[in-house]
Structure 1
């Protein structure tokens, strides 16, 4: 970690809820979303001139297969904390993906989605994934929480599909919505921040979508999600009100997030810290450590993450680690999964060695602890 990064990490950890306990939370986004459907589709897009090889999400991120889940669970269950509890990942999941067939049949006049409990049954090697998620939750190492309904900005994506944007349409034809702005030749905003609205009408649509997502979440999993994280850490105040009405008490995210709060107004950056409350009584959970080896294979992620954790503990904060799903899937690139699972286990062993009294918690468990201590 550079001197500048060290100073920044220390400054961002000054504020927030404090505890003398060594608590580690691992938050993992994007479960359930289908970013790149298959290696075959990846190869076709690359041959068509879309530089998917320049984006680590396009290169590696796909639906997690039964093999992916099984291997991840082996790692999580192999390390126990001071209370003999296994490592738990907070798996932030969307509950739907675009229904490309129905959208095309409507001649792009309407948007349709397919719930994950239906869609996964249609994917070879993923037929039993949802039941595995639920098993992992019952056994204490996989805690499912809400990441919205789908990981796509519907209003923005549909606009580009209806107009003359050939790369967007080509990607659609292969069942892909998530071509990054860093690799497209089209001048456009990202399709990934689902709740990045640009006017009052889109704000209303976003609030309806997040409400529908939380209702579908409860229908699929049988419980309300206590915590929530917006795709790409972008949302507005009205969304906080909506999710509060559906039982969300804790908002995950980065220490600095993008906040949309008025028609035509650009996203504002907002400082967040663990324990901060908003106008609706919801508690912020802010990530202060990072394990994202898929992003940069040359970086020493174990040393970096342990340093992040040490800084958090120095200020008596829980360590909340960001570790996206892309790090643990091998559908497109099995080496990505296998290498990163080894790194994950080494990281967990390193945490246990350095802090033998560590306690592993999910995001909602940490939120409950903060709430209890503030009463």
Structure 2
């Protein structure tokens, strides 16, 4: 009972501070679009079996993969069933990793150099993903899929390249299969792209952000004015570079994690509408819809309870739901289950709140800055 009281109190406290509105606004932020994870079932089964301590066998490494045409079309079909008070459908702010390691070039260099390729080139390597980028464009046209920038790669290149150069057998074997494992043998996460430990590592990260912005604009024809750092990890120097590449709205979790170089390592709290010295506005995710990560939870009831609470505090709902929930080409039941729950959630939202308004993260950031 005491734990439930503390949990309820915490959920209310995070919505007290910050920008308020009487409007019923719902943002759906979804990370990881574009990044490679597990290429196919055969590779997954082999790597998880051989390296169980280095894979997230219950979540990302089991089901997450580049979205194929079926993944996208079935997601868009659900979204297009609903509309808000303005006739607008729910829209996914699709936070996109625009590049992946070019595994063949890296291996050809004997692991001495790092190369990346746009994720559209990665898609071409899979016969099951041919034509997928056309679905991206269709989702953008139908205003249910709105790409924003998540980074050049969702990979800590320094740690990964060091493991390759040191002859780590598991990391090299994963590269041979066209992927990277989730963890190093010592348990360090490889997906925290900006967790650097030496000041000399920073220029590489800043250059990667320049690359990411350029590739994003080349692929989609517009600049990304919002950004979410991989694994919510960044510092002030990275934030300044965000400003340089045109980012005015910083998406965030409840906490900003600081890179290891910022010893003693700590985290910072943000709130919706908070601004920094550069005039950038922070958004804070205040609700989660992650059926794949916790399949036994009642996600529809839990989210409706959270939405009711957030609207009572006159805050926008910023819902986090990662790509892995909607990927079915490694496990079709994963996609089917998540879409069933998403449909039920959107049905209840639009019935209970006929005045709901669906927006993207960059639109909400712009609204906050204007007001």
Same-fold call, TM cutoff 0.5: yes
TM-score computed with the length of structure 1 as normaliser: 0.94
1:120-159 alignment, distance < 5 Å: 120-159=123-162
Please state if 1:319 is matched with 2:317.
yes
- Tell me the alpha carbon deviations over residues 236-264 of structure 1, each in whole angstroms, 9 at most, x when there is no partner: 1111111111111101110112023x846
**1:43 — aligned with what?**
45
The 10-residue stretch of structure 1 (102-111 or 203-212) with the greater mean CA deviation from structure 2: 203-212
Contact 2:32 2:97 in 1 (8 A): yes
Unpaired segments ≥5 residues, structure 1: none
**2:235 — aligned with what?**
236
**2:197 — aligned with what?**
198
1:1-375 alignment, distance < 5 Å: 2-50=4-52, 52=55, 54-179=57-182, 181=183, 186-260=185-259, 263=261, 265-373=263-371
Contact 2:51 2:170 in 1 (8 A): no
**How far did 1:119 drift?**
1.9
Q: How many residues in Structure 1 have an aligned counterpart in Structure 2?
A: 368
Contact 1:88 1:141 in 2 (8 A): yes
Contact 1:83 1:359 in 2 (8 A): yes
Unpaired segments ≥5 residues, structure 2: none
**How far did 1:46 drift?**
2.8
Query: RMSD in angstroms over aligned alpha carbons?
Result: 1.6
SS in structure 1 of the partner of residue 151 of structure 2 = coil
The 10-residue stretch of structure 1 (49-58 or 327-336) with the greater mean CA deviation from structure 2: 49-58
Indicate how the Cα distance of structure 1 residues 350 and 154 shifts in structure 2: closer, same or farther if over 3 A, else same: same
Contact 1:178 1:192 in 2 (8 A): no
Contact 2:123 2:132 in 1 (8 A): yes
Partners of 2:250 and 2:361 in 1: how far apart? 9
Indicate how the Cα distance of structure 1 residues 4 and 124 shifts in structure 2: closer, same or farther if over 3 A, else same: farther
**How far did 1:188 drift?**
4.2
Partners of 2:4 and 2:341 in 1: how far apart? 21
SS in structure 1 of the partner of residue 307 of structure 2 = helix
